Chain A
Amino acid sequence: MPLDNPMQHSMSAEFDRRNLDWYIDKLVQVLVFMAGISAIIFIVGIFTFITMEGVGFLLEGFSFSEFFLSPFWEPSDEDAPEYGALALIAGTASVTGLAMIVAIPFSLGAAIFIGEFSTGKSREYLKVLVELLAAIPSVVWGFIGLSIMNPLIIELFDVPVGLNVLNAGIILGLMAAPIMTSIAEDALKAVPDRYREAAEALGATRWQVIFKTVLPAAKNGLLGAVLLGVGRGFGETMAVLMATGHSVNIPHSLFDPVRALTATIAAELGETAVGSPHYQVLFTIGIFLFVITFLINLTADLIVRGIRKG
């Protein structure tokens, strides 16, 4: 503390800088510091919380092979509860997978158009609209899945129920696309203009410039965008709860109803006694989801950072 040295104390009060402004300054410093580290505090706090709630089951009733290999999810049975999450994992994976198949062409196409082709006002409008799309609440998407897509799928494909992998995958794909578009567009923007100029100087057409020069150069950023979209898909709850049909089932086709990990927590947690094995196994699912999304986001972040540095 340089301010506390005896020289300053011996000085007269006029030179003491600790007036009201000084205190306000210190206070603001502390507040800004707290705000800065709050994200870290929260993430550590949340992880500690879900681990504490789920750890009892992990230590006692948890069977690694049952959780990951059994499709039977019957945690509320009194005599023989079953804690197999395979069908739930398959449900989440199938819906997220289909969502990516839907979202990748959409978002990459949109990013290329916004970043490379459109100019001026139309570009600004498009960017605002994409951000607006990202702001639609997930329950609204779920509602679209339930009341518009459901009858449409029944009508088009002659299937008994329209709440299935296809419905949820399309909904989730549309939800993930705006975020992926924004990040992919950033990645394209990060490619220096001199690359494009050099390619054009060599006589490349516009298509060749984008396909042979810009996309390869932005490859890491685009991969990061896709991974963040996957993370979004894994974590989405409300829309998949409404659009999947909520059925414990390993899907064999696009038209099979499934159930997602997140939706299972949402549907069951409110009704279980706090501290019961059922409650704890739901938190175990929470830990699993947390670890997966953390790994996906971390990988995406590392990849995006990689391109910025290189």
Chain B
Amino acid sequence: MKRKLFTAVALATTTLFSGLSVNAADRTLIQNKGSDTLVNVAQAWAEEYRNVDPSVAVAVSGGGSGTGIAAMINGTVDIANASRKMKARELEMAKSKGQNPIQHVVGYDALAVYINKNNPATTFSFEQMKEIFGRGGKATKWSDLGLKVPGCKGDTIVVVSRQNNSGTYAYFKKAVLGKKGKFRQGTLDMHGSKDVVDLVEKTPCAIGYSGLAYATDHVKLVCVSKETGGACVNPSVATASDRSYPIARPLFMYTNGEPKGAIKTYLDWIKSDKGQCILLKKGYAPIHDVSCG
């Protein structure tokens, strides 16, 4: 009697589990995590890809480049999104944990410098931005730059930055402040690309940097010149594509080893005209010329 019961239970359990594994087998799940800059477009890709290959489900989450890279090092994601290159130390750590991250460029992003709508400034050179954002910079008041900002009480420049392990932060630091450069003390460190734009919108005294894709009609974008007095370039998808805009950066996806199977097909689709058109629509620059209807 007891034996029969046991067999029945065992049989039921096996059926249940085999049923589950069959279900899991006919849908491949790709874990995709990382950069806040890329999260919107990654989500759009994942959604569209459902129509391309219904047997593959892509789960996208944000959190920042550091989060994605950390997950890649710990081996918990299939594709890590990053708006910066992996650092040498991170690559070492990944190797020591048996991971072999391979880098893929999936698009370009212009980092726009945002100011409040009431701010009369139009152009900033790299040198001026160093004075505003950099440690030891001399510009702490808008009048130091010869500007009078309506609505900005106290004339102080409120510098808006990102938390120190965001890809945007790392890229801006390297590109504008130089390899040895550091941000000044007392910047407001926002936790997401959108938060920077929101704060600049509400604060007349503020200046901040964030991806071009987060631009709204309620903030002003600054024309950026490399040399003081030199010709300036407006941030746009076009100027990011032809690399004439000086603070445009590549956007990366990392895979563990050369991509295979469903992950390879997905990445190839992302780099194809179809995938790149979605990227373009979200406000980023494609990796090659595309014509989207």
- Report which B residues bind A (CB closer than 8 A): 63-67, 69-70, 73-74, 87-90, 93, 152-154, 156, 158, 163-166, 169-170, 179-180, 182-183, 185-191, 202-206
Within the complex, the shortest CB–CB distance from A178 to chain B, in Å, comes to: 28
Which residues does chain A contribute within 8 Å of B153, judged by CB atoms? Answer: 158-160
17 further contact pairs, Cβ within 8 A, besides A160-B203, A272-B70: A71-B185, A75-B164, A76-B164, A78-B89, A79-B179, A80-B180, A160-B205, A161-B188, A247-B189, A248-B185, A249-B186, A270-B63, A271-B166, A272-B165, A273-B66, A273-B70, A276-B90
A3 to B100 Cα, complex, angstroms? 63
Sample (29) of A-B pairs whose CB atoms are under 8 Å apart: A71-B185, A76-B66, A76-B164, A78-B88, A159-B154, A160-B153, A160-B203, A160-B204, A160-B205, A245-B188, A246-B163, A246-B190, A247-B187, A247-B189, A248-B186, A249-B186, A257-B186, A267-B189, A268-B163, A268-B164, A270-B63, A270-B64, A271-B64, A273-B90, A274-B70, A274-B73, A274-B74, A275-B93, A278-B165
Q: Which 4 A-B pairs have CB atoms at the shortest separation, nearest pair first?
A: A271-B66, A249-B186, A160-B205, A271-B165
A259 at the interface (CB under 8 A from B): yes
Interface residues contributed by chain A, number (CB under 8 Å): 36
- Residues 149-207 (chain A) with a chain B CB within 8 angstroms: 151, 158-161, 163
Question: Given A160-B205, A276-B93, does the pair A271, B67 have CB atoms closer than 8 Å?
Answer: yes
A236 at the interface (CB under 8 A from B): no
Within the complex, the shortest CB–CB distance from A76 to chain B, in Å, comes to: 4
Which residues does chain B contribute within 8 Å of A249, judged by CB atoms? Answer: 185-186
Which residues does chain B contribute within 8 Å of A278, judged by CB atoms? Answer: 165
- Report which A residues bind B (CB closer than 8 A): 71-80, 87, 151, 158-161, 163, 245-250, 256-257, 259, 267-268, 270-276, 278
Residue pairs across A and B with CB atoms within 8 Å: the count is: 100
Verify A271–B187 contact, CB threshold 8 A: no
Verify A158–B165 contact, CB threshold 8 A: no
Which residues does chain A contribute within 8 Å of B73, judged by CB atoms? Answer: 273-274
Verify A270–B189 contact, CB threshold 8 A: no
| A258 closest partner in B (C-beta) | B186
A163 to B158 Cα, complex, angstroms? 12
| B187 closest partner in A (C-beta) | A247
Verify A163–B164 contact, CB threshold 8 A: no
Question: Given A79-B179, A271-B63, A271-B70, does the pair A276, B89 have CB atoms closer than 8 Å?
Answer: yes
A278 to B69 Cα, complex, angstroms? 14
Which residues does chain A contribute within 8 Å of B206, judged by CB atoms? Answer: 160-161
A257 to B206 Cα, complex, angstroms? 14
Within the complex, the shortest CB–CB distance from B193 to chain A, in Å, comes to: 14
| B170 closest partner in A (C-beta) | A76
